[in-house]
Amino acid sequence: MVIFYINPFINFGFKKLFGQENSKELLIDFLNALLLEKEDKIMAINYLKNDNLGRTESDRKAIFDIHCKTINGKFSIVEMQNAKQEFFKDRTIYYATFPIQNQAIKDSKKNNIVWTYELKSIYSIAIMNFKFDDSNPIHKVKHHKVKHHKVKHHKVKHHTMLKDIEDNTIFYDKLQFIYLEMPNFNKKVQNLTTRYEKWLYVLKNIPKLQSIPPTLQDEIFMKVFTKSQISSYTNEELNEYESSLKNLIDFNNSVATAEKEGKIEGEKIGIIKGEQNKAQEIALNLIKRGFDDNFIQDVSGLSAQEIIKIRNENT
């Protein structure tokens, strides 16, 4: 019997794996594998409402997020990003400001905000189903005191925080951004060595798997496969799953159409610019040969103002 598993890069799949009360154990395991905080291991989390993050309709089809807080007060924003979007890095930084602001405490007696400015750590984690346009190479600020290493091709994980440019020391570590370029993760199942790599493999490949590889047959990943098994869903869940799939297909089609139209429009603009450059070249040659503006206008198709401009720029 062939078993089919859900796609975690749709809203239903992402929330099924990480966003339900009975999914907390999976999210905790994933975060611990990703953050590698052996001395401060996450033991429990609480899900937070994110109603104040007013994403656009386009965002809601491409970005699915979960906000949580650990028992030691740290905040995490875990996002599935399905497609490239303009100012993507800016958006992740913008949305990270909300858990910063929400740490302010309201004094009910005085009816005002008590703000000491001492912040708990915030991690913004983006699991991206696309590649950064500018990730290879990453532009760096040059300084003679810092030894720079060439960025490896096909980098998967980008872990960033505020650092001192001159000596590369960490300036502030309470606001960290982690970007996972999933298309760059191509390890085979037999080559997986860490918990982190196993999670990336599962997230990327689970819709294509028809059996559970031996290396993934531990308690946590067996729960992942159990929650992902489509045949176990109720009719209501199946309808929700199919709706999420339709949203993904519609979104991908709209992106493809926009790219195609943009390419066609770009070709039209290129043709127009080429014709305009040719007309300007003809006008310049006629000017050099001493023809009057009326004759040049008839031959080149340019306006009188354009011809006067070319004449002034080349005399």
CA proximity to 25, closest of 220, 229, 225, 215: 220
Q: For residues 214 and 28, give the distance between their C-alpha atoms in angstroms, rounded to a whole number.
A: 22
Contacts of the segment 186-189: beta carbons below 8 A, 24+ positions apart: 186/154, 189/213, 189/215, 189/216
CA distance 137 to 208: 31
The whole-model pTM stands at 0.71
Q: Six-digit token pair at 173?
A: 């570590």
Query: Per-residue confidence of the chain (315 residues) as pLDDT tens digits?
Result: 667 888 888 888 898 999 989 999 999 999 999 987 656 788 889 988 765 555 555 555 557 788 888 888 888 888 888 777 777 888 888 888 888 887 877 666 666 666 777 888 899 999 998 888 754 444 444 444 444 444 455 899 999 999 999 999 999 999 999 999 999 999 999 999 999 999 999 999 998 888 899 999 999 999 999 999 888 888 898 888 888 877 777 666 665 665 566 555 555 455 555 556 767 877 787 777 667 787 777 767 788 888 888 888 887
Residues whose CB is less than 8 angstroms from the CB of residue 213 and which lie 6 or more positions away in sequence, other chains included: 189
* Cα distance from N-terminal residue to C-terminal residue, the chain: 82
Cα–Cα distances in angstroms (integers) from residue 186 to residues 146, 204, 214, 252, in the given order: 31, 9, 18, 23
> Contact 122/175 with Cβ under 8 angstroms?
yes
